Structures are given as structure tokens and as C-alpha cells.
Structure 1
Amino acid sequence: MSTPPTPQSLRQALRERVVVADGGMGTMLQDRNPTMEDFEGHEGCNEILNVTRPDIVRSVHQAYFDAGVDCVETNTFGANLGNLGEYGITERIFELAEAGARLAREVADACSTPDRPRWVIGSVGPGTKLPTLGHVSFAELRDAYQRNAEGLIAGGAQAILVETCQDLLQAKAALIGAKRAIAAAGTDTVLIGQVTIEQNGAMLMGSEIGAALTALEPLDLDLIGLNCATGPAEMSEHLRYLARHARIGLSCMPNAGLPVLTADGAHYPLTPEELADAHDTFTREFGLNLVGGCCGTTPAHLKAVVDRVRGREPAERDPRPEAGASSLYQHVPFRQDTSYLAIGERSNANGSKAFREAMLEQRWDDCVRIAREQARDGAHMIDLCVDYVGRDGVADMKELAFRLATAATLPIVLDSTEIPVLEAGLEMLGGRAVVNSVSLEDGTGPGSKMARLMPVVREHGAAVVVMCIDERGQARTAEWKVDVAARTIEELTGTWGMRVEDIIVDTLTFTIGTGQEESRRDALETIEAIRELKRRYPGVQTTLGLSNVSFGLNPAARIVLNSVFLHECAEAGLDSAIVHASKILPMNRIPDEQREVALDLVYDRRRDGYDPLIRFMELFEGVDTAAMKAGRAAELAALPLWERLKRRIVDGELENLNADLDEALTQKPALAIVNEVLLDGMKTVGELFGSGQMQLPFVLQS
């Protein structure tokens, strides 16, 4: 009698050797010529055959096991809300999934021996409903996928494969549903996610492979990979990206090439030998753990793959994960190579009057416009806060997160004090969001906010912002800030399984513009806290709600103080800032005295007869932002032509540039102007950039 394998044996095999799965299912079933009666009138619903024609389904599994594969996928690709909904039989999700897994399990057990176990992978297809487009709610889709996974587990599947994912939010719903089913069953079921990249290099919704990895890997998958849409040739570069960056195992199940239309229908041209060649290369170069085939692949294809790669030890990889967040479209790393990570602050009902009024009047397009303007201003992420007294925060968050999910290309920081509001946002975003914030404000015990919030954060794979607040209040000294941050980091990594690089600590700053003695050192204490925190936890991220430091000063003074303070924090190790990026100046554009007095204010350098706060306020008395701009324009206009042109390059100043160039062209040829003046300006830009006085956004302006 054969010895049935255990789920652990599949997990162990994936670690130790390349495991080979089967190929296409649908075409194999159609070759058996099922009748309309076999489909119970539901033409094309292959999952019905699990009940009406188990002999046909078993024969397909047997053909693949005879070819030598290690595991087969269940005939359950369409046993989901979208597909079965088209036939009006969604109540049969569990039944058809369980039947499909049971059939595959029976054949696998019959083919297994003590030294050659065979396994069953439960297939979970995408369905036809895309939550990012509003076809169905996240919760309804997640719960339906959970029933699907429960049926597969009950039938004996040792792995759940969420495959052919076209919408990251759909993939997350399926994977979270599967995780809930696995937890409820108490099994050690392997969880795999495979996305489908079209010929244009992105998923159907426009997601690049980096966005997919960033969004899905934190859901605690065992493997991530690609299947369907294309042949292996078109998958190569996407697999290369996964091999370089994924912490987890990799899988690949390509079609038998790109289909060719013939008089007899679609033909897949890739030969068995060519599929074997591809997997030979992929396993050696990219360290794949699981290989197989998708549309158009047959037992002959998989026999060639088995003969070539089965039993091969997975090639060793040295992945370089890049901690970050993602929108539906793109990955954004938390560490910017040449700049701080700018988190746009204007999509905040408490901090932006324009955004708040648009939200209150339900001018949603204006809210989206404000968010998108921040991207043009240089933001890398968008802070979204809808909290406002008297409003239904859940409804507002659903409305705006749904719109921003597709209208904004930047990742979202969900900012709220209310857990239901944060959860509503997470259920709208296919990318990886950041949740702002967690703290030790009421401890970590049962009933604390952290104990209630973190299960939601972890289930959705979000990163978090940590506020330096504990039971005593908001930390003011560097020692207090670091102590709170350290305790919170240890709680998040130890109890909740967060990676330290996915934790963003806001060391908090308060205004230094009031003159009150207790606030004089707040900026300095914040800088020192950042420096010490980065020393203790080099992998942790840091951020600041930057504009708090200048609260109470006039707008012109705030721009200068915020810019100087940001520069000093960045020098101490600050990674990101919640900021209005267009209102930050590079150090070279701030007049010397303003910069020096701002530094004295930040570092509390008072002395007899000199108070930097008083002097700073004197410098900006009667000065507004328009006056600052006019002053700079007048200063430029007073310079000689060639010096003026160079300064325009250095400052990234477009206004009146054309007029200056027209004048210059009357004196020198265009090439001479470029070589002698404009390139000289760019040389200065390079020197400022190299010395840290100018960040990348300003270089790009230049």
C-alpha cells in the first residue's frame, strides 16, 4: 500500500530540489470531448466535471504523473466567485473545490511510493471580477476565496496556488482568503502566488513586477512567480528581477509560447524540448524551486522538463531585498539613493484647507488633483488623511483610496487614528501601503490599540509608521524618543513578525517658534534621536512631520526653517519626511544670514544679547513668500547676462529664461552658450549635489 505524503514533505522538497508540476488542464479536458450533459448545461464550466465526470479529470492527472511530474494542480481554476457567478452557482464553490482536490489526491496517493511522494496543488484562478475597478468589494471577494481554499484543503491539497493574477488587489484578496482558510484548518499548507505579465511588460492593470513583489511578498507567501500570458522567452527579465530581490522561493509556469492563430484555432508553438531548455536555464540562473507549464503545455512537454531538471538542487541566490511601498503600478524604495523620501502632506483633511473643503463638498476629482500635483512637485508617496469631526471616515476613505488606487502612481500612506478607517483604505489599495501610525500610547496588552491594529496591518502586509509616544505622552528628549522607538521596534518585530526595515520611526518634532523654554531644544533633541536610532538600528527607516518645527512663524520664515531643519536631519540619517516638497529650498538658495540664524535656532545657540528666534523673526518681518520670490527675481535681474544665465541653471529658474537666451544669442552662437555658460552652471550643480547642499529634485529642475 502506498504511503500518503504529508504537507511537510512538499515544503521540504521545495527547499531541497526543483519540484516539477504539471501543465495545461483545460485543453486536456476538452480533448476528452465532454458532453453538454457532462457540464450539467453549464457549457465550458470545467469544474462541474469534478462531480459529473471524475474519470475524465483523473485521467488528466494520471497522464501527468505518468510523465514523471512531482505534483498536479487541481481542476479548480474557475471554482471562484467570478467564474461560477456567471453560471449562477456560486453556492457550489466549496463543493467543486473539495471534489477537485479529492480527485487529484486519490490519483497522487495511488502514484506515490515511500521514496517518491506525489503532491496536490490547489489551483485558485483570478475569476472575472477586478476589485480595483469596483467590480466587487474586497471583503466579498476575500470571503469567497476563503471558501474556495477551505474546499481545496478539505479535499487534500498540500499547497494553494493563487495564479494568473491580473489585479494586485484581487491577488491580495485571494491570498488573504487562503491564509484565513489555512489558519482555520490548522494545516501547514504551502502558499504560492503567481502573477501574469502581459507582452507589454506589465500586469493587466499596469503593475510592474516590482510592484507585484512589494505588494504580495509581505503576505507571508512561500513562493512567488509567473504564469500564463506568454512563453518563457518573455518571462526572463521579470524572473531575473524576482531572483535579485525576492526573499522567498520562486516558481514559473509559462505557456507553450505565444499562441498562433490557425484555421483550426489557436496553436502554441513551443516544443517540449524548448520548454525544457527554458526551465534548464531558469533553474540554473534564477534559482527556481517550482516549475511547470500553463496553456498549451502537455504531458510530453512536462516529461521533457522532468528529464532535464527534476531533482536538481535549486541554484543558490543572493537576493538584495529593497524595502519599500508600492502603488498599483510601481515600487518605491524607502531609501532614496540621492535624496530623502518625500511624503506629500497636502492630501490631509487636517493640514490642507483646499483638500478638506474639496472632501467636505465631495469634489472628489479636486481631491485627486491635489494628490497628483504632489507627484509633480517631487513627492515619492502620498499621505492620505480623511479624519474630520462629524464625517464618516470609513466612507470618505473608501471613496478616496478607491480613486487614488488607479489615479495616482505613487504609494499611499494611510493616516488615521481610527482602525476601521485604516482597514477601509487597505481594502481599496492593490499596492503596498504604509499605515500611520502605531505607538505605545496605551501599552501593548489585550485591548490596546496596537493589539487591535497590528492584526489588520499584518494581514494586509503593510509597512508602519511608529510614533514616539508612550504612556507618558509624546517623547521630548532624545533619550526618551529612542527608548520609546526601541521598545516599539522590539514589540513589532518580536510579537508581530515585522521586519525592521518595514518600520518607519517618526521621532516627532515640535515647534521651536514659540519662545517657550521647554520647546527650545525640541529640534536638537529630534536630530540627536535620529542619529542614535540609526546607530542602534541601521535597517530601520526614519521620518518626520517636518512642518511642525516651524508652526507659528510666517510662511516665508517657515520655508527657510523647514529647509534648514530637513537638511540637518538628513545629515543625521533621516530617510523620509512628510512635507510639501515644492516648498523646500536647497541650501545654496537660502541667503547666508537666514541659513546661519536658522541653524542657531535649530541648535539653540543662544548667547548674551543674541536670541536666534528673535533675530530670525526680524529677518522675516513683513516678508511673505511672494516678496521672497520677487526679491530673488530682482537679484537675478541685477546680475550680468552670463552670470544670470548660469544662476538660472543652478537655481532651476525658468521664469524669464527665454528672454535671457534671446539676448545671449545676439552675442554668441548657441553652441558657445551651451559649452561656456550652461555647462558651467551644471558643473556647479554637480558640486552642490556632491556636497549634499542640493537634493536630486533640484538637480532635475536644473
Structure 2
Amino acid sequence: MYGRMVVILERKEFLELLNERIYFLDGAYGTEFFKLGFKEVIETLNVTNSEMVYALQKAYVDAGVDFLLTNTFSANRLKLSSLKVKYNLKDINYNAVKIAKKARKDKKVYILGDISSTGYLISPLGELTFDEAYEVFKEQGEILLNSGIDGFILETMSDLKELKAAILALRDLSKDVPIIVQMTFDEDGVAVTGTSVEIFSTLMNDLDVDVVGINCTLEPEKLLPVFKQLSNYSRKPISVEPNAGKPKLLRDGSIVYNTSPEKFALYMEDFVEFGANIVGGCCGTSPEHIRLMVEFLKEKKPKKREIVKEEFVSSRTKLKKMKPFLIIGERINAAGKKKFQQKIRERNYNKIVELAILQEKEGAHVLDLNLGIEKLLDKTHFSQVVNTLDKISSLPLSLDIQEFEFMEMALKEYVGRPIINSSTAKRENLDKAIYLLKRYGGILILLTMKDKIPESAKERFDIALEAIRYLEKHDIEKERVIVDPLVLPLGAKKDPAVTIKTIELLSKEGINTSIGLSNLSFGMPNREALNSSFLALCIDKGLTAAILNTSEKCTMNAVFGSLTLKGVDFEKKEIIRNEPMIEMILNKKEDELKREIEKLLEEYTPLQISQDILSKKMEYIGELYSKGEIYLPQLILAAETVTPIFEYLNSLIESNAREKLGTVVLATVEGDVHDIGKRIVGTVLKSSGINVIDLGKDVPAKEILKAVKEYKPDIVGLSAMMTTTIGRIKEVKDLFVDNNVDIPIISGGASMNKEIADNFGVYYAKNASQALKLVKKILKR
């Protein structure tokens, strides 16, 4: 019924096109339909009013675009279900492609299947699993591909893990279809889930995508410095779609954006100067914006970019350079530790979290993860540990996992660019490593051995070179490989000079090297002295990384001293210590926090502790989040840590005093299913002792009024992400007035601003931290 899977635009041809000139994407859909008075789910137009979609797309084709997006931004199963769309998923997507083909007519315009987020956060930040997200993206992608698109564009993604699920789903459908991927970032260059442009760029360098870009959230002027970071770090062609400025409310209730078509076209030249290969527009851009942009830039050719040549490893929130030296903490290792192993079997990961936090404080750049005897475990142990460490926003991981199935599970769940530790130089093992590196990204530790460990440095060196040539033949660059020259126990009469010589030979070829340092002193006295002395000798011969015990001060000083003597600028990590209770909350030290609260109860009332102590600590943590010093995973973890404490304190507070804490009803307005921002606000309020009633997303005004009458809250908080839904906030306000309900409303969301809020007669909070301050200010009144 929906055609056959045929790829029209081959990837090679697509990439060749991008070398010729600047190519053009179309502009906004939602805000254009909003201008015409349509305020429902725009993807339903593909079924109910195809002429409206056709007219807009034809206008974009006439404006001179090279790529036309299908009207399928929210047309995945989860979003359509959240929006209560009754029309068939296949019909919506198939008709979208059909309309786009009609609009391009006989012009050489390529059709891109447009896919965005599910509207749900993936574990550990939310409850959606990676596999569930993968299936949702694969389902929509298959319909679009079978309908005859020329390529895919994944856009307005805010979660790197969700983006990875989408990439894998689409690439599993076809190895030949071009894929453009775009994330959305705030002014500081960090997505709402804590991922920076650099982390995004360096992982996309590894994954099987063709163009990497940024869209939405920011106007051109504010997006430009963020885009410059993408330009510096992405080794692939880059794209950009800014918003047309900030939304402004007119007297007639319509919304306009403050960047004119002329101004927009001029701004877009700056993006071309920074190396953009593909340019287009997001919210607020019209066919006129795109027409002037095309006219202004049509003769431009892509600029050559100066791209950062360094290699990095990363977690969701932390990026670490591989040079000049990478310190890999060894202590999350259950091998030979029965009690530790048993805790892991029982799914008690507190020790792992404790060691992760401790090693970061001691100066580790990466954490090696070895869960011990793997036959005692199943693959869910590995996914749970990776997600647990993601939630505390840990350092990047070196995954020391032997079973291929377990390694793949860990890599699938991992957010960022890890180290895969390790592979021997046997072809069958290298082939598995190539598969993992290409599918999930990362750096490989390569052992200088096949079936047995060679005796001489020359043999080890030759094995490493042969393996690297094989990896390069399969498009894995030498820079993505760290060779382990193998350290053997001194107590077993093994000569450490062989390892040192191997490092020297490899370093002369510009090959990165890493050792498992503690293997040297196994079973020996004075281990720290042996380790630090040997490490200094290895660094002198060019060693670039080591898996070591970061609690050994002498060993850590050997790194600093050896590199300093070689003239390498290598600074010791400055440890910033928070106030003790903040540390307990951020590091999920629940037992310690409970004991601290019990001590405080000897001096203060439960209400005083709740409002004046614990709430203030969470307010400070909210400030850390708004400043970008901690990220969403840590914020959620902090909330989980304090919520039981607040519940305990509330149980001790008399009911009349408990009411002083205040109640807030939260909702994302009707027609909008984006609730990440609202959930963050809810998390901050709840973890500050405020009673929060979350009505969810896509909530009609009448339901919000009903909830206000039922729960009698002190404040209502409303979120609207899309321009097409911000008018619903005024609808709620007007309904309250009509029903003589006098209650403060705080508004927020990407499309809201203070000017619009003032016009609606409501408060405005830019972020969760501002929302908390505003709530407390209102409650004091």
C-alpha cells in the first residue's frame, strides 16, 4: 500500500553535492499554519487539509529550497498518542511524502523525512527505555522510507541518548539513505539534558550520519557562538536552522517573530562564514525569510573549516581530552572481591557510585568499569550500572567487559564517547570491535597480542601495527586506538623493560598507548613506590594513558612531575568541595543525610528544617543547575535523595503548619506534549518541600480549572513549548477570570517570554531556578 523501500538520493551523491555550494532547507511549518488560524496538531493536515500543506511547501519550493521537509515532525506513535490524534500513523506519514512530492513537481528538490523526539525522556532521566524509543523511530522511519523520501532529518533533539536510538533505528532500515541530525542547545551551548555541543559533535564524528547540525531555541545572533563550537569540533558537513528571533504578541492575539526576512538573510551569511554547508530556518521563518536567504547566499560556496584535531572521550555531561595524558581510575573492579561482587549481583550499586565520586575527586579523567565474574551476571546488570553512573553525571567510562552481548548492552545505554577495553589483535576480535566502534562510537584499547603474549617488544610492536592497519582499512582511524603494550607482574620474573621498549617503538609512530599499571606490582611489597617509578619511566618514553589507582598520591604525583619535566602543560585537578549536606544530596548519600536530619531535629522543628534548611539547600542546588555547574541527571538524583526526607519531615509537621509549605498545580497546556521543562520545574519545587500536583501534558483549560477547584493550590504553573500553544495560557487565565478564580499563574517554556506573559496578565519564569524563587516570593505574600 505504501510503496517499496527505494533510496533515490545516494549518500555519496549527497555528500558530493555539499562540496559544490551552500544548500538550502525550508522554514517553519507550525508558526506558518498558526498564522492561518490553524491551532491543532499540524500533522493531521496531511489527512484533513492537504492543500494547506501543499500551498506552504510549494511556497518554499518557489523560494528556492534544495531540501523540502515532510510535515511529520511529531508524527511518531508516542507523540500522536499523547496528542490524542485519531488518524492512522501510516496515513499521516505516507500522505506527507505524497504532498511534498506534489509540491516539488518537476524541480530538483530533495524530500527529507522529518522526525523529532518522542516527547518522553529515556531512562535514567525518564521511564521510556532505549529499545522502546528505537522501535518508535524505526516504525515512523520505515513508513517514510517506503513512501519514497530522499533522506532523513532528525531535528530539535535535546537528549543525546534518544538521538542515538533514532540514528540506529534509521540506519538499520538502510545503509544508503542520507541522514542529517540536529540537536537544540541553550545560549551556553548545553542541551537541557546536560550535553554540550562538543560532546554532541565528537560522538557524531563516530556515528554513521552524514550532516551534523543545530536548530531551534535560539535566534541567529545568540545561536552563532554556539554554532561556532559545532564548526570547530564536527568533522562532518554542518547545518543550521535558527529561529526568526523572539516571539512577540500582537494586539489581535497573533504571534510574530522580531527578525525580519532581510535581517535573517544577513545573519545567515555569518553561519556560512563559519562553515555551514546547509542552512534553513526554524520557528518564525516564512517562505519570504527563505527566499531572501536563498537569493543572498545562492552564489556562496562552503568555507574550509579549521577543525580541532584532538581526540576526546565523554559521558553525557563531561568531555575529557586524550592528550597530554589520560588518567583512568581502576577501582571499580569486582574481580577477586567477593563482597563487592555479591553487592553487584544483588543490584546494590552504592559502592560503584561511591568509588566513581571518590576517583573523580582524586583526579581521574575516566573510570574503568569491571564488574568481575560475568557468568554470575546478566545483561541488565550492565545496563543498570551504566544508567546509575549516568544519573550521577559521572566521568567518561572505560568499559572493561568480556562478553560481547554484555558489552553491546552497555554501549547501547551509554551516553557519550566511551573507551572500549579491550580487544586482542586476532581478526575475529577486531571485527567485533569494528562493529561496536562504528555502531556506538568510542575509542578502542588494543592489546599487543593474539593468542598469547609475545616475549619481545618488536613482536608486540609488529602485532599492534598489523592490527592498526586492519582497523584503518575498515575506516577506524589510528587516533581512535590506544595500544596496550602489556604490563606483566614483576613478581613473576617478567621484564618491565619489554613494556617500556614497546611504548617507545609505538610512540615514534605517533600511536597512543595505555598500561594497566597495577599489574606490575601485583603480589609485591611497596607497590606504590614500584608503580610510580615505573610510570615515570613509561611517560618518559611517550606513554599517553594509564589505568591506575588514583588514591596513590605518589603515583598521581609521578604523572604530574614526569609531564612537567617533559615540558608538558598538565595541571593537577583542583578539587572544589561543597558544603557537607550539599555533597550528601548530590552524591545520593541517603543514610548520611538521614543521620544529619535526625541530629538537626534535636535543635529545630520539622517545619524549620524543611523550610529553612533543607529547602535552602535544594534552592542552592537549583542555582547550580541554572548556572550549568550541575546537569539534569544530577538534579533528578538530588530530588530523589531529598524527597523521602521531605516526606518524613512532613509526617512530623502538624497539618495546619504543613499548609504553609504551599501547593502548586503544574500543567503543559492543551495541544503541547513537550513537558521536559515542566518536569524540571516540578523536580526543583518538590525537592524544596513544595507540594506539587502535576496534571501532565496536553491539558485542556477546563481540566486545569477543575483541578484548581479540587486541590485549592496556591499557584498554577503552565508550560508552552510551541508558539502555536502559548495562546492557551491566556485561555486558562481568561477561564479563571470568568469563573471568579483569583490565583497566581506562572508561565514558562521555550516560546514564552516576559513581554507575552505581561500581556496575558501572568508571571513569567525563564527556568526552574527562577520559578522556585517566584513561587517562594508569592507564597510569602
Q: Which residue of 1 aligns with 2:220?
A: 232
- The alignment partner of 2:520 has SS state of helix
- Following superposition of structure 1 onto structure 2, how do residues 204-215 of structure 1 map, counting pairs within 5 Å? 204-215=192-203
Paired amino acid for 1:278? Y
Question: For residue 58 of structure 1, what is the aligned residue in structure 2?
Answer: 54
- In structure 2, do the counterparts of structure 1 residues 373 and 93 end up closer, same or farther at CA, with 3 Å as the change threshold? farther
Partner of 2:181 in structure 1? 193
1:470 is matched with 450
* Counterpart in the other structure of 2:769: none
Q: Which one-letter code corresponds to 2:522 in the other structure? A: F
Equivalences for residues 422-433 of structure 1 within 5 A? 422-433=407-418
**Aligned equivalent of 1:458:** 438
Query: Paired residue for 2:464?
Result: 485
Find the partner of 2:21 among 17, 20, 27: 17
Structure 1 residue 526 corresponds to structure 2 residue 506:
no
**TM-score normalised by structure 1 residue count:** 0.76
Q: Quick check: 2:446–2:482 contact (8 Å CA) kept in 1? A: yes
Q: Find 2:257's aligned residue among 261, 264, 268.
A: 268
Deviations 1:388-442 (A, max 9, x none): 25522412111110111131341111111101111111121221112111113xx
| Cα distance in structure 2, aligned partners of 1:258 and 1:65 | 26
Decide whether the 8 Å contact of 1:214 with 1:331 is kept in 2.
no
| Two-structure CA RMSD over aligned residues (Å) | 2.8
Question: Is contact 2:249–2:255 with CA below 8 Å preserved after alignment?
Answer: yes
Residues 1:202 and 2:190 are matched in the alignment: yes
Q: In the alignment, does 2:130 pair up with 1:138?
A: yes
Whether the aligned pair in 2 keeps the contact of 1:411 and 1:432 (CA below 8 Å) is yes
Q: Structure 1 counterpart of 2:112, which letter? A: I
Moved more, 5-14 or 132-141: 5-14
CA offsets per residue over residues 365-387 of structure 1, 9 Å max, x none? 33212112111110001111224
147-156 or 208-217: bigger deviation: 147-156
**Other structure's SS at 1:547 match:** helix
Q: Structure 1 residues 689 and 568 mapped into 2: Cα distance closer, same or farther (>3 Å)?
A: closer
Q: 2: distance between equivalents of 1:137 and 1:688?
A: 45
1:80 counterpart (67, 73, 76) = 76
Distance, in Å, in 1 between the alignment partners of 2:158 and 2:534 is 44
Instruction: State the AA in 1 paired with 2:320.
Output: V
Contact 2:114–2:154 (Cα < 8 Å) also in 1: yes
Q: Deviations over 1:28-79 (max 9, x none)?
A: 2334445xxxxxxxx8332232233222211110011122222211111112
Give the letter aligned to residue 542 of structure 1. T
CA contact (8 A) 1:326 1:410 kept: yes
1:242 and 1:357 map into 2 onto residues whose CA distance is 44
Aligned to 1:372, which of 352, 357, 366? 357
TM-superposed deviation, 1:291: 0.3
What's the secondary structure of 1:399's corresponding residue? Answer: helix
Identical residues among aligned pairs (%): 28
Distance in 2, Cα, partners of 1:312 & 1:289: 10
Q: Residue 124 of structure 1 aligns with which residue? A: 115
Amino acid paired to 2:459 = W
What corresponds to 1:691 in structure 2? 565
Q: Give 1:95 shift.
A: 4.4
Match among 33, 39, 42 for residue 29 of structure 1: 33
Q: Which moved further from structure 2: 266-275 or 567-576?
A: 266-275
Gaps of 5+ in 2: 1-6, 577-781
Equivalent in the alignment of 2:473: 494
The SS at the match of 2:131 is: helix
Task: Please tell me whether the aligned partners of residues 24 and 294 of structure 1 are also in contact (alpha carbons under 8 angstroms).
Answer: yes
> Tell me, what secondary structure is at the counterpart of 2:169?
helix
Instruction: Answer yes or no: is 1:155 the counterpart of 2:147.
Output: yes
The amino acid of 2:499's aligned partner reads T
Aligned to 1:561, which of 530, 542, 567?
A: 530
Q: Distance in 1 between matches of 2:568 and 2:310?
A: 25
Give the match for residue 571 of structure 1.
Answer: 540
Normalised by the length of structure 2, the TM-score is 0.68
Instruction: Please point out which of 257, 275, 294 is paired with 1:306.
Output: 294
Query: What's the secondary structure of 2:203's corresponding residue?
Result: helix
The residue number in structure 2 matching 1:503 is: 481
Contact 2:215 2:241 (8 Å CA) reproduced: yes
Match of 1:109 in 2: 105
Stretch moving more, 163-172 or 208-217: 208-217
Specify whether residues 699 and 257 from structure 1 end up closer, same or farther in structure 2 by C-alpha distance, changes over 3 A only. closer
Alpha-carbon distance between aligned partners in 1 of 2:321 and 2:86, rounded to the nearest angstrom: 40
Partner of 1:608: none
1:342 aligns with 2:216: no
Check whether the contact 1:82–1:128 (CA below 8 A) recurs between aligned residues.
Answer: yes
Q: Secondary structure at the match of 1:342?
A: strand
Q: Number of paired residues?
A: 567
Taking the aligned partners of 2:83 and 2:429, their CA distance within structure 1 comes to 44
Write the deviation string for residues 319-360 of structure 1: whole angstroms up to 9, x where unpaired: 233212111013212113xxx210111112216677545424
Amino acid at match of 1:578: I
Shift of 1:458: 1.6
Q: Is the 8 A contact 1:562 1:584 kept in 2?
A: no
Per-residue deviation, 1:548:
0.2
Cα offsets for 1:456-503 (capped at 9, x unmatched): 3321122211112203x12332112112211221222213x2111111
Q: Is structure 2 residue 385 aligned with structure 1 residue 404? A: no
> Contact between 1:563 and 1:584, CA under 8 Å: does it hold in 2?
no
Tell me how far apart the structure 2 counterparts of residues 5 and 360 of structure 1 sit (CA, whole Å): 50
1:76/1:588 CA distance change after superposition, 3 Å: closer
SS at match of 2:105: helix
Matched, 1:413 2:398: yes
Q: How far is the alpha carbon of 1:160 from its aligned partner?
A: 1.1
1:615 corresponds in structure 2 to none
Distance 1:331 1:699 in 2: 14
1:632 aligned residue: none
CA distance in structure 1 between the partners assigned to 2:540 and 2:29 by the alignment: 58
Counterpart of 1:278 in structure 2 is 267
Q: Secondary structure at the match of 2:444?
A: strand
Distance in 1 (CA, whole Å) between partners of 2:152 and 2:568 is 50
1:581 aligns with 2:550: yes
- Secondary structure (helix, strand or coil) at the match of 2:27 reads coil
Whole-angstrom distance in 2 between the partners of 1:509 and 1:353: 25
* Alignment check: 8 A CA contact 2:182 2:214 kept: yes
Opposite residue 531 of structure 1, the aligned amino acid is E
SS, match of residue 526 in structure 1: helix
Q: State how far apart, in whole Å, the 1-side matches of 2:507 and 2:19 are.
A: 35
Deviations 1:626-662 (A, max 9, x none): xxxxxxxxxxxxxxxxxxxxxxxxxxxxxxxxxxxxx
Query: CA, structure 1 residues 177+26, in 2 after alignment: closer, same or farther (shift >3 Å)?
Result: same
Instruction: Tell me if structure 2 keeps the 8 A contact 1:507–1:542.
Output: yes
AA partner of residue 290 (structure 1): I
CA deviation after TM superposition for structure 1 residue 265, in Å: 5.9
Alignment-derived partner of residue 217 in structure 1: 205
Please say which of residues 16-25 and 92-101 is displaced more in the overlay.
92-101
The question of 1:395 aligning with 2:368 is answered no
Residue 584 of structure 1 deviates from its aligned partner by: 4.3
**Is the CA contact (8 Å cut-off) linking 2:218 and 2:245 kept in structure 1?**
yes
Which stretch shows the higher mean deviation, 311-320 or 344-353? 344-353
Residue aligning to 1:619: none
Verify the 8 A CA contact 1:588 1:694 in the aligned structure 2: no
Preserved contact between residue 419 and residue 453 of structure 1 (Cα < 8 Å): no
Matched, 1:552 2:541: no
**Partner of 1:346: helix, strand, or coil?**
strand
Inter-CA distance 142–476: structure 2 relative to 1 (3 Å threshold): farther
Offset of residue 94 of structure 1: 4.7
- In structure 2, distance between residues paired with 1:697 and 1:143: 45
In structure 1, the residue matched to 2:168 is: 176
Change (3 A) 1:148 1:322: farther
> Are the structure 2 counterparts of residues 195 and 254 from structure 1 closer, same or farther at C-alpha, using a change threshold of 3 Å?
same
